[in-house]
A and B are shown apart, each in its own frame.
Chain A
Amino acid sequence: MQLIPCPWCGPREEAEFHYGGQAHVAYPEDPSALTDEEWARYVFFRDNPSGPFAERWSHNAGCRRWFNAVRDTRTHDLLAVYRVGEPMPEVTA
């Protein structure tokens, strides 16, 4: 069980959190202007890298806030956490 440093509450057990997949995937400005292909990219296709990955977590059983993290998917180590709206920090993995 990992310790996830919620940017609002501090480090908490992984079981308190809910995973939200890739971060920084914005809802399209105008979905109706997209081709089926572009829309499908938004709905179904996400990055799935082996290495640092910017992703979303929600501290469901705590402050209930969503935040972003950069985690190395090879080691599962959290490299950085940051609040929604903040830019992704530089990390070295």
Chain B
Amino acid sequence: MTSPPGAHLPEHPDFLWDNPEPKSSYDVVIVGGGGHGIATAYYLAKVHGITNVAVLEKGWLAGGNMARNTTIIRSNYLWDESSGIYEHSLKLWEGLEEDLGYPILFDQRGVLNLAHSLQDVRDSVRRVNANRLNGIDAEWVDPAGVKEICPIVNTSPDVRYPVLGATYQPRAGIAKHDYVAWGYARAAHAMGVDLIQNCEVTGMETSGGRITAVETSRGRIAAGKVALCAAGHSSVLAEMVGLRLPLASHPLQALVSELLEPVHPTVVMSNAVHVYVSQAHKGELVMGAGIDSYNGYGQRGSFHIIEQQMSAALELFPVFARAHLLRTWAGIVDVSPDASPIVGLTPVGGLYLNCGWGTGGFKATPGVGDCFAHTIAHDKPHPFNEPFTLERFTTGALVDEHGAAAVAH
């Protein structure tokens, strides 16, 4: 027997990073060593020449949502503000493998977002049209078109919620999360960034309205600037300087099957039937489940959510019946009121905020890393993250992406 397709993933390099002791002070301290934190450090060093930087991670590097997400990458969001930052990100994804010199397995296999009601259809067409005018590749495909792109979708009219069509973004796809995080980490480390693991930030010091240092489980670290990239723990960290955020942290679960021969050539998402599924590089089916309703930091969700997920999956993909659930897990997602992120300055001088990405921030990793680094370096938001202020909740200038984001990734 020969080895099956997808059996070989590229090898990781022989050297990734050192494990230094924290220095007593840094120009920039980034709290949270997930994808966003590491990418921010990378762009700080690469684009802005700021290398006296530490990324502080309470656990193991990129072990939070970065290690737990279903890796869907797309930019077909509704509003101009979102299109700006997500498309910026997608463009960076397209050059990232070369940029990092790391095989990130970015695979532009396209994403289908299914419509199941007449209103879904209207909303989808609206989004496709908006995407196109924003320069984003997008198509509306009818059920036959869905079948052509992904033959295993059940497009027959007699399922509970028939597929009435879909939006399709051909440039969308998936990547391999660990490879992405490690690619950024290796490159950041090579430029002088300290990656410090098992280092939990437990407090922050301010003086005269400016941040001056962080307290950590490995001692006090002085900092010229502090940038929060703590995803699910953002509220807890902001609270340390008395800053309240409009966020709720929820468990979000995902699951994989065992390795299967290729059956699923693209990524399919359905808000109405609550399925998001792709077949990852090795052949496993990767699925995101619905969000658990309650606030929780426990990195575990409730099993009935998984059962609902399975029934939804079989509605759309009857061939999955005898695939097996191999592993389930949960992350902690920081959900904002308008399903859009908060990226920018804070009332505390030198403290920067990047949070609220909720169920969909993996795709933003390069884009937000770049824009957030810019924000930190210039003490001024990058045009792409300018709309995503904390103040928008006061003025009412929300960027409501519930339609496009829902619990979607």
Contact between B236 and A49, CB atoms less than 8 A apart: yes
**CA of A90 to CA of B337, assembled, Å:** 30
| 6 extra interface residue pairs, beta carbon distance < 8 Å, beyond A15-B304, A45-B393, A50-B236 | A19-B293, A48-B236, A48-B249, A50-B297, A71-B294, A73-B249
Chain B residues with a Cβ under 8 A of chain A: 233, 235-236, 239, 244-249, 293-298, 300, 302-304, 337, 393-395
Which among B244, B300, B304, B394 is the interface contact of A36 at CB below 8 angstroms?
B394
Contact between A45 and B236, CB atoms less than 8 A apart: no
Closest to B398 in A: A44
Residues of B within 8 A of A91 (CB): none
Interface centre among B235, B236, B245, B297 (most CB of A within 10 A): B297
| Minimum distance in angstroms from A6 CB to a CB of chain B | 15
Chain A residues with a Cβ under 8 A of chain B: 1-2, 14-15, 18-19, 21, 36-37, 40-41, 43-50, 53, 55, 71, 73-76
**CA of A45 to CA of B249, assembled, Å:** 13
Residues of B within 8 A of A47 (CB): 235, 244
| Minimum distance in angstroms from A20 CB to a CB of chain B | 9
Closest to A53 in B: B295
Closest to A50 in B: B297
| Minimum distance in angstroms from A19 CB to a CB of chain B | 4
Residues of B within 8 A of A73 (CB): 249, 294-298
**CA of A37 to CA of B295, assembled, Å:** 24
Contact between B337 and A76, CB atoms less than 8 A apart: no
Residues of B within 8 A of A46 (CB): 246, 248
Residues of A within 8 A of B393 (CB): 40, 43-45
Residues of A within 8 A of B300 (CB): 76
